[in-house]
Chain A
Amino acid sequence: MTSPLRLLVNGVPVETPVPPSERLLDTLRWRLGLRGTKEGCRTGACGACTVLIGGHPRLSCLTLSHQVGEEPILTVEGLESDPVGRAVMDVFVAEAALQCGYCTPGFVVALTGLLKEHPGASESSLLEGLQGNLCRCTGYSSIRRAVTRLAEPAP
């Protein structure tokens, strides 16, 4: 059984039939073709599926699509046209803050959300905000370098 669902994804209104128990992660990836958002664990533990809902980082694997309502969704595909998202991605590229890249959408989306909510956030608060994001490859040092560059220099 599916019912029609309207979402606002990366500024674009979309309408698609979605079963009531479908996770936002699956709607994004398999109905809307937005495969940038990754499935790491499907249990809330890795952060790879992070998207912004109403500007706040959320786990799309633990969110039902029908629970989103009218709140705008921003996925990694939408970061390109967002000034903060653009800046975050540029720094990740400059610092080579990825290896396989599987965790990267979650990191850059989460950082974009944190920086939009707290422009000029400190390095420690950004790192704290990323505690729920796991990376299996980089050893984190390149990600930390990127975070250092995105944070305001400590006073």
Chain B
Amino acid sequence: MALLAPTRAEEAIAELLDGPEGRVAVLAGGTDLLLDLEEGKGAPEVLLSLHRLPWRELRWGREHLEVGATLPLAELERDPELARRIPGLLEAVGAVGGFALRNQATLGGNLVRASPVSDLIPILLALECEVGILGSTGERTIPLEKFLLGPRRTVLARGELVRRVVIPTLPSAFRWQRVRPANDVSQISVAVARTPDGEHWRIATAGVAPLARRARTAEALLRGRSPPEELMVSAAAGAAEEAGVRADKRATDTYRRQLLRTLVLRAIRAVPVGPTGDAG
């Protein structure tokens, strides 16, 4: 196996398109890929490491945060603005693995992995982020919800890489439940975001269905920056029904449904009431 670490995006794309399918595996932080390789899943001839590409942007706009695909998650935690401007994202990032893991794991890798138990996908769905995909003909941008097709499946075609993620700055919150706080998989995670005016609320759940998803019927019940208590309770109950709860080795379906209701309610209450997410 050879390791290539191009410094220019065109070289990386050309390498991906060269030779038969499966010849090249893309390597970012390696926290998923190296484990797969160790377990004998896949036998690429070439590891294409993205670490030399200048893809580590962390750029605040008026209404968005742009994150380069290979920025280590810990760099998001280090940003002094994140807690105020996208609180739910900071909470979700902090839930991934331990601190040393987050110094190498990337946002791009987490999205491409498309794990049913990803802690980042629910919050990014709730925030309605967009994924910038780079291919030989340039960059296209699509909503995360369209990017994800199923567990470990995305719309990425051969010769394409995730280049960046563009994240709206919105009042938001993230809640999770697991047995151990770090380096364990969340049994449930829940993300909630709302538009600054309170017109639209968005709820996403993970750890229940094969892939994280929105709970659109439940979110439509919420209006305003601080909805009445009874609507919050109905929305939480609705989200638990809508989530497609299943049982597995980590938890039963009854437990999950109850937990979901509680966590959705807590997450809704935790969304800051003020109009954060602006440039002020």
Which A residue sits closest to B39, measured CB to CB? A43
A112-130, CB < 8 A from B: 114, 128-130
Q: Does B98 lie at the interface of the complex (its beta carbon under 8 Å from any beta carbon of A)?
A: yes
A21-B1, A62-B30, A132-B101 known; A67-B49 Cβ under 8 A: yes
Over the window 245-258 of chain B, the binary record of Cβ atoms lying under 8 Å from chain A Cβ atoms (1 yes, 0 no) is 00000000000000
The complex places the Cα of A43 from the Cα of B35 at a distance, in Å, of 6
Q: Could you say which of A47, A67, A128 contacts B100, with CB atoms under 8 Å apart?
A: A47
A20-B3, A67-B30 known; A110-B100 Cβ under 8 A: yes
The complex places the Cα of A64 from the Cα of B34 at a distance, in Å, of 9
Is there an interface contact between B38 and A42, defined as CB atoms closer than 8 Å?
Answer: yes
Interface residues on B, range: 20 to 34
A59-B104, A110-B99 known; A20-B1 Cβ under 8 A: yes
A20-B1, A67-B51, A131-B183 known; A59-B35 Cβ under 8 A: no
CB < 8 Å A-B pair total: 86
A43-B35, A62-B34 known; A132-B104 Cβ under 8 A: no
Over the window 9-53 of chain B, the binary record of Cβ atoms lying under 8 Å from chain A Cβ atoms (1 yes, 0 no) is 000000000000000000101110011011000000001010110
Tell me which residues across on chain A come within 8 A of B3, comparing CB atoms.
20-21, 64, 66-67
Is there an interface contact between B101 and A59, defined as CB atoms closer than 8 Å?
Answer: yes
Is there an interface contact between B101 and A20, defined as CB atoms closer than 8 Å?
Answer: no
Is there an interface contact between A20 and B2, defined as CB atoms closer than 8 Å?
Answer: yes
Chain A residues proximal to chain B, CB less than 8 Å: 1, 19-21, 23, 42-47, 50, 53, 56-59, 62-64, 66-67, 69, 110, 114, 128-134
* 9 smallest beta-carbon distances between A and B, as pairs: A132-B98, A131-B182, A20-B3, A57-B100, A56-B103, A129-B99, A45-B183, A21-B1, A132-B182
